């Protein structure tokens, strides 16, 4: 998952191995943070002086963990773990999404003051930004980013020397500051089109890490980290109208291929044939027909599948319990009987879909189930997968895609779920 910059290949390789080792150590000692980094691409690069999370290029759209190879290799192994934990803490506390028009230098220092109090037991590199640097301001431990920002902003207004120090925060001569001002300029700016996407992917990574981390491990996390993670989960699990959720999924996988048409001239060449968009999608709908699913739930689900079909999507219905019992193109008439009613296995349906995709691809897969089966070992080729859990179902054995739960006519969005295991 790592990428290299244009620096020396040997240096890049050595730094990449050192970064991988630091993350493995973190996985053993503090798995919650390492699980988050499992969803974050890594880049060895000299565009940052030390280390950072954010955009390598302004139009990347994907948050990356960036590490300067010379800086990283100059640290001891415990300090490297501290650097990695420092960066992932910025993501956990969602610091990159707190711009709101604030002074970026002050914001970066305030964010560092928060996370550097949480890096222990790993030793911070020399000259990392800590409360001791600002002893004259009387800053106290355990305060919020907003508190530190307000105090630092006040100091910058009242103390010219401090304001001058801030102004030099991006100067290369200040590289010896370690993890400090200037390494947060790659955070997305408020109002940018990439901020929402980066925030969504980060939230997916945090939720996935929380699900994969055992309760015993969570109990050892700092109170601030637990509070932010739980607040994020409450926010993401707010009940949504499940009919809207299914329709939004169907819209997200819709293709819009260009087709020739003689009904209108080409706008570019003012001649026939012109071009038109033909909105279409092909969706596989898998229905768990094992004996544990109630018929009313299946009927309710198919009422919404019918709505997706009416938008013009081609829907292929696959009825599967321990094996695929029937597969047919939906023609507007829901199945009146369920074939199967035996045990449950996810792999037969996914294997059928993969074989069918060799002939003609699917744009998305929707799987209605109670979740009581072994984790799938086969995945469909298409990127879009939505698990729909009936009331009382379990998501413990689901892998990949998004998970939503039917609850008395409501569906709860559970976001991305990459692994059923716990650490």
Order of strands across the sheet that contains 314-320: 239-241, 410-416, 402-407, 385-389, 364-369, 282-288, 314-320, 324-329
Q: What average pLDDT is seen over the chain?
A: 78
Is the torsion defined by CA of 100, 102, 105, 107 positive or negative? negative
Q: Specify the DSSP element, H or E, that contains 282.
A: strand 282-288
Measured CA to CA, the distance from residue 59 to residue 73 in angstroms comes to: 29
What digits encode the pLDDT tens for the residues 208-224? Answer: 899 889 888 999 999 99
What digits encode the pLDDT tens for the residues 44-68? Answer: 998 888 998 877 555 556 778 999 9
Measured CA to CA, the distance from residue 420 to residue 125 in angstroms comes to: 36
**Is pLDDT larger for residue 108 or for residue 295?**
108
A 10 A CB-CB count for 74 gives 12
- Average pLDDT rounded to a whole number, residues 314-318: 92
- Average pLDDT rounded to a whole number, residues 186-200: 62
The yes or no reply on domain 240-416 and CATH 3.10.620 is no
pLDDT (0 to 100) of residue 344: 84
Tokens for 373, please give them. Answer: 């089966």
Measured CA to CA, the distance from residue 22 to residue 84 in angstroms comes to: 7
Pairing relationship of beta strands 282-288 and 274-277 according to DSSP bridges: unpaired
A 10 A CB-CB count for 329 gives 10
What digits encode the pLDDT tens for the residues 375-421? Answer: 999 988 888 898 888 877 888 888 888 888 775 443 444 444 433 33
Domain boundaries, the chain: 2-236, 240-416
The band of 175, judged by pLDDT with boundaries at 50, 70 and 90, is very low
Task: Using alpha carbons, select from 283, 278, 279 the residue that is nearest to residue 259.
Answer: 278
Encode 267-304: b = buried (16+ Cβ within 10 Å), e = exposed. Answer: eeeeeeebeeeeeebbbbbbbbbbebbeeebbebbbeb
Residue 405: CA count within 13 A, CB half-sphere: 18
DSSP string, 182-218: TTTTTSPPTT-HHHHHHHHHHHHHHHHHHHHS-HHHH
What digits encode the pLDDT tens for the residues 318-352? Answer: 999 889 999 999 988 777 666 656 678 999 999 99
Tokens 């300067």 -> residue: 68
Measured CA to CA, the distance from residue 26 to residue 92 in angstroms comes to: 15
Could you tell me which residues are beta bridge partners of residue 66? 43, 52
pLDDT of 181 over the 50 cut: no
The band of 294, judged by pLDDT with boundaries at 50, 70 and 90, is low
């Amino acid at each position: 998952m790592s990428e290299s910059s244009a620096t020396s290949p040997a240096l890049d390789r050595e730094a990449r191995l050192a970064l991988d080792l630091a993350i493995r150590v973190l996985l053993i000692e503090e798995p919650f943070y390492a699980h988050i980094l499992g969803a974050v691409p890594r880049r060895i690069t000299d565009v940052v002086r030390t280390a950072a999370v954010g955009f390598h290029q302004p139009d990347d759209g994907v948050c990356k963990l960036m590490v300067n190879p010379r800086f990283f290799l100059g640290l001891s192994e415990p300090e490297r773990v501290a650097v990695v934990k420092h960066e992932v803490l910025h993501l956990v506390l969602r610091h990159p999404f707190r711009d709101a028009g604030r002074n970026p230098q002050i914001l970066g220092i305030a964010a560092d003051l928060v996370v550097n109090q949480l890096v222990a037991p790993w030793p911070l590199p020399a000259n990392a930004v800590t409360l001791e640097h600002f002893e004259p301001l009387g800053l106290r431990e355990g305060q919020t980013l907003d508190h530190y920002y307000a105090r630092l902003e006040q100091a910058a207004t009242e103390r010219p020397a401090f304001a001058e120090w801030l102004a030099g925060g991006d100067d290369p001569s200040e590289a010896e500051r370690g993890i400090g001002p200037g390494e947060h300029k790659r955070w997305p700016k408020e109002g940018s089109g990439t901020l929402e996407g980066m925030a969504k992917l980060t939230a997916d990574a945090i939720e996935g890490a929380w699900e994969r981390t055992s309760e015993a491990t969570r109990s050892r996390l700092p109170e601030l980290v637990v509070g932010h993670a739980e607040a994020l989960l409450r926010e993401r699990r707010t009940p949504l109208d499940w009919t809207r959720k299914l329709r939004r999924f169907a819209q997200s996988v819709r293709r819009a291929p260009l087709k020739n048409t003689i009904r209108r001239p080409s706008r570019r060449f003012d001649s026939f044939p012109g071009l038109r968009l033909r909105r279409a999608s092909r969706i596989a709908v898998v229905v768990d027909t094992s004996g544990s699913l109630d018929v009313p739930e299946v009927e309710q689900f198919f009422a919404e599948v019918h709505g997706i079909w009416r938008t013009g999507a081609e829907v292929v219905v696959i009825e599967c319990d321990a094996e695929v019992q029937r597969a047919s193109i939906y023609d507007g008439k829901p199945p009146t009987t369920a074939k199967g009613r035996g045990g449950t296995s996810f792999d037969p349906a996914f294997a059928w879909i993969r074989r069918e995709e060799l002939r003609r691809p699917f744009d998305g897969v929707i799987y209605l189930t109670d979740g009581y089966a072994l984790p799938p070992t086969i995945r469909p080729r298409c990127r879009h997968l939505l698990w729909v859990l009936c009331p009382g179902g379990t998501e413990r054995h689901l892998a990949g895609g998004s998970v939503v739960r039917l609850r008395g006519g409501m569906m709860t969005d559970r976001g991305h779920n990459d692994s059923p295991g716990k650490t």
